[in-house]
Amino acid sequence: MTDRVDETLHLWRSTPFVYGQSDCMLSIGDYIAACGGRDVTGRFRGTYDDEPGALAHVGGCGGVSGLVDMTGLQRVDRPARGDVVCLDTGQVEVGAICTGIGIAARLERGVIEIDLRFVKIAQAWKVR
């Protein structure tokens, strides 16, 4: 049986990553909206077409954490399947979805999945 997480990961894998259309944060915004939450990223769609443009928009909102906080979702200490997380890579913040045993993030090079034991989660929000 598939759920919203499976459907979203299938969509991410079957459609191209395009800055300003279907990049990492717009994809997280679409996921939140599909789950019934508030998409605060849609207003950026089509307003940039490269990584510096994406970073400028996200940075203007206080980073990934600031952007997701704008949705009004409740922060949680331990993410569960379907929750949104902000990863701290040591260089940049990355938005991702908790798959239960790991996280999935949409990056320019494709969708990556990493076991929760190997990521540093800066923040997490309940989406379900």
Q: Which domains does the chain have, with CATH numbers?
A: 4-125 (3.90.1720)
pLDDT tens series, the chain, 128 aa: 789 999 999 999 999 999 999 999 999 999 999 999 998 998 999 999 999 999 999 999 999 999 999 999 999 999 999 999 999 888 888 999 999 999 999 999 999 999 999 999 999 999 97
Q: Please state whether the predicted TM-score (pTM) of the whole model is above 0.85.
A: yes
CA distance 90 to 48: 25
Report the alpha-carbon distance of residue 108 to residue 4 in Å, rounded. 22
How far apart (Å, rounded) are the C-alpha atoms in residues 59 and 57? Answer: 5
CA torsion through residues 16, 71, 124, 31, sign: negative
